């Protein structure tokens, strides 16, 4: 793989605190739970999964100053080139994940230093070696990082470098406004969204109608459908729709990030869309069988 096959990922670096209660929460009282702390953040997850697949990948993010040295060592150990900016004031981000009995998750998010990302943090010098820019949608949900990633996207577009955007969070999409988000991402190469995000962005629960509606804004739409698999399409509708294998679900954290990495890694290797979809689904299925958002 040549230097020009680099994926440049821009997104959050977080610490995931994963809480698995033994039963429903008891308001005002105790509930036994298993609590684990793992590295996380959508951008970081995508980068680490890509690195595990042998893809040349760089990760751009802002972290608390005291955490930068050990985070750099951590990512380098996982074949990720870390381009981390030390924030002198804000701590690194933290995400509390409440996992229910069937593996579904609810989130409490403190993005910390990620919110201070700015255009001067963007490694424009790497674009000459970059095959794809992958942006986590979380970076669009606050003014500072939004200015940074949209500036980088314009620089990449001026050099004909494809840009993929992951919708990231149905809650934040509704908060900023789905129409606004779609305008921010208009003209990007690929939109990745899960079923809930696709429905919120398109205003419909029908897969074909989702593809057509979202294909008016981006060249390609990839919808991650959880246990139902995933589909690829665009303004003409669904091109491919593949099921997911039945697996025992332990934790769905990072499954969408693993899917994105599997699809992108296959595409950079020259695979067609059917094989890319298969590889993405395979990676997502692997992710739900473990705890945490990054490969063990």
Tens of pLDDT, residue by residue over 242-295, are 999 888 888 777 899 999 999 999 999 999 999 999 999 999 999 988 877 788
Residues 171-186: pLDDT tens digits?
899 999 999 999 999 9
Q: What is the pLDDT of residue 39?
A: 85
Q: Does the pLDDT at position 67 exceed 70? A: yes
Opening angle at CA 135, ends 131 and 139, nearest 5: 155
**Domain assignment of residue 105, yes or no:** no
Does the residue 270 lie in any domain? yes
CATH number for the domain that contains residue 243: 3.40.1190.20
The whole-number average pLDDT for the span 30-35 is: 92
Domain membership of residue 269 (yes or no) is yes
Pairing of the two strands 230-234 and 237-242: antiparallel
What local confidence, expressed as pLDDT, does residue 24 receive? 87
CB 63 within 8 A of CB 115: no
Q: How far apart are CA 34 and CA 22, in angstroms?
A: 8
DSSP E strands: which ranges in 41-148?
A: 57-64, 81-87, 93-99, 105-110, 130-136
Cross-sheet strand order for the sheet of 237-242: 81-87, 57-64, 6-10, 130-136, 163-166, 190-194, 220-224, 230-234, 237-242
- Specify the number of domains making up the chain: 1
Domain range for 181 is 3-14+40-92+112-287
Q: Vertex 283, ends 280 and 289: CA angle to 5°?
A: 145
Determine, yes or no, domain membership for 32. Answer: no
pLDDT at 1: 44
Token pair, residue 92, equals 């690194």
Mean pLDDT in residue range 9-37: 91
> Is the residue at 210 inside a domain?
yes
Identify the CA nearest to 13 among candidates 79, 74, 88: 74
The predicted model gives 73-81 an average pLDDT of 96
In a domain, 28, yes or no: no
Residue 106 lies in a domain: no
Question: Please, what sign has the CA dihedral across residues 267, 163, 134, 2?
Answer: positive
Q: Identify which of 234, 235, 233, 230 has the alpha carbon closest to the alpha carbon of residue 279.
A: 230
Asked if the structure places residue 25 within a domain, the reply is no
* Residue-averaged pLDDT of the chain: 93
Phi, psi for 6 (deg, rounded to 5): -70, 140
Q: Within 13 Å of residue 6, how many CA atoms lie on the same side as its CB?
A: 20
């Amino acid at each position: 793989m040549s230097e020009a096959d680099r994926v440049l990922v821009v997104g959050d670096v977080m610490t995931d605190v994963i809480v698995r209660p033994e039963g429903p929460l008891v308001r005002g009282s105790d509930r036994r739970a298993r609590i684990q702390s793992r590295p996380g953040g959508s951008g970081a997850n995508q980068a680490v999964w890509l690195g595990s697949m042998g893809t040349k990948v760089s990760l751009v993010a802002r972290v608390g100053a005291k955490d930068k040295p050990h985070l750099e060592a951590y990512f380098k150990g996982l074949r990720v080139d870390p381009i981390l900016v030390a924030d002198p004031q804000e701590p690194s981000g933290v995400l509390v994940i409440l996992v229910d009995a069937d593996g579904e998750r609810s989130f409490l998010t403190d993005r910390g230093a990620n919110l201070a990302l700015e255009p001067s943090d963007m490694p424009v010098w790497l674009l000459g070696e970059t095959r794809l820019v992958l942006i986590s949608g979380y970076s669009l949900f606050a003014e500072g990082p939004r200015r940074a990633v949209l500036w980088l996207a314009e620089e990449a577009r001026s050099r004909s470098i494809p840009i993929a955007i992951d919708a990231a969070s149905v809650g934040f999409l509704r908060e900023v406004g789905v129409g606004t988000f779609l305008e921010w991402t208009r003209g990007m190469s690929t939109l990745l969204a899960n079923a809930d995000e696709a429905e919120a962005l398109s205003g419909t629960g029908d897969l074909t109608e989702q593809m057509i509606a979202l294909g008016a804004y981006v060249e390609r739409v990839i919808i991650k459908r959880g246990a139902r698999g995933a589909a690829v399409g665009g303004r003409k509708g669904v091109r491919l729709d593949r099921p997911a294998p039945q697996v025992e679900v332990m934790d769905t954290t990072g499954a969408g990030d693993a899917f994105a990495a599997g699809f992108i890694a296959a595409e950079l290797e020259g695979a067609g869309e059917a094989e890319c979809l298969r590889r993405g689904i395979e990676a997502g299925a692997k992710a739900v069988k473990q705890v945490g958002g990054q490969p063990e």
